[in-house]
């Protein structure tokens, strides 16, 4: 398809519909029984850049469809703001030789400033999961001691 091609859906004398590149073309590209089929095929050919003109049976224009390419999306502004010019490299300074290489002490790492902390929101304590119960080993049933009678009665009987 050439860029900006115009297609026409025109009626024929036999009641069918023709899809052609010019309204008065001698030869149709394709002949369709139904007008809707011809329009669908014409739209497919006219996209992404082109035009489709649909005619009525009386040769007047029913619809015109103009197709244009989708506009390109611009890059987000935030991405452009993040770009910084490349920093120029400074020439390497001459290093002074250490008096004794074996005893040269390492410089401590530079300390970072602590970032300002926001007050932490109170968190709900995490629900504890119940511990998996292990099947208990069967122990021999221990005999329960017999219920003791109140000791007060015994002591009272001895005193008498």
**8 A C-beta contact, residue 63 and residue 38:** no
C-alpha distances in Å from residue 68, one per residue of 20, 50, 55, 71, 125: 20, 7, 21, 9, 59
CA distance 32 to 50: 21
Question: Count of domains in the chain?
Answer: 1
Cα 159 from chain centroid?
92
Answer whether residue 98 is part of any domain: no
Answer whether residue 141 is part of any domain: no
37-95 pLDDT, tens digit per residue, is 999 999 999 888 899 999 999 989 999 999 887 777 766 665 555 556 666 666 666 66
Answer whether residue 62 is part of any domain: yes
Answer whether residue 79 is part of any domain: no
CB under 8 Å to 62, separation ≥6 — which residues? Answer: 54, 55, 56
Answer whether residue 111 is part of any domain: no
pTM summary value:
0.43
Mapped onto helix, strand or coil, the DSSP state of residue 31 is strand
- The backbone torsions φ and ψ at residue 147, rounded to the nearest 5 degrees and listed phi first, read -65, 130
Supply the range of the domain harboring residue 17.
Answer: 5-67
Answer whether residue 158 is part of any domain: no
Least Cα distance to 65 among 77, 78, 80, 55 occurs for: 55
**8 A C-beta contact, residue 9 and residue 42:** yes
123-136 pLDDT, tens digit per residue, is 666 666 666 666 66
**pLDDT tier, 1 (very low <50, low <70, confident <90, very high otherwise):** very low
Answer whether residue 15 is part of any domain: yes
Answer whether residue 90 is part of any domain: no
């Amino acid at each position: 398809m050439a860029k900006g091609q115009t297609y026409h859906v025109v009626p024929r004398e036999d009641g069918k519909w023709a899809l052609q590149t010019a309204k008065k073309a001698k030869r149709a590209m394709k002949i369709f029984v139904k007008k809707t089929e011809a329009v669908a095929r014409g739209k497919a050919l006219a996209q992404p850049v082109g035009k489709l003109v649909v005619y009525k049976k009386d040769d007047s224009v029913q619809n015109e469809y103009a197709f244009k390419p989708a506009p390109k999306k611009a890059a987000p502004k935030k991405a452009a703001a993040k770009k910084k010019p490349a920093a120029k490299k400074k020439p390497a300074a001459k290093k002074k030789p250490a008096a004794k290489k074996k005893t040269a002490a390492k410089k401590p790492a530079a300390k970072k400033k602590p970032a300002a902390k926001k007050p932490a929101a109170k968190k709900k304590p995490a629900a504890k999961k119940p511990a998996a119960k292990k099947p208990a080993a069967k122990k021999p049933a221990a005999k329960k001691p017999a219920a003791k009678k109140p000791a007060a009665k015994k002591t009272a009987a001895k005193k008498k």
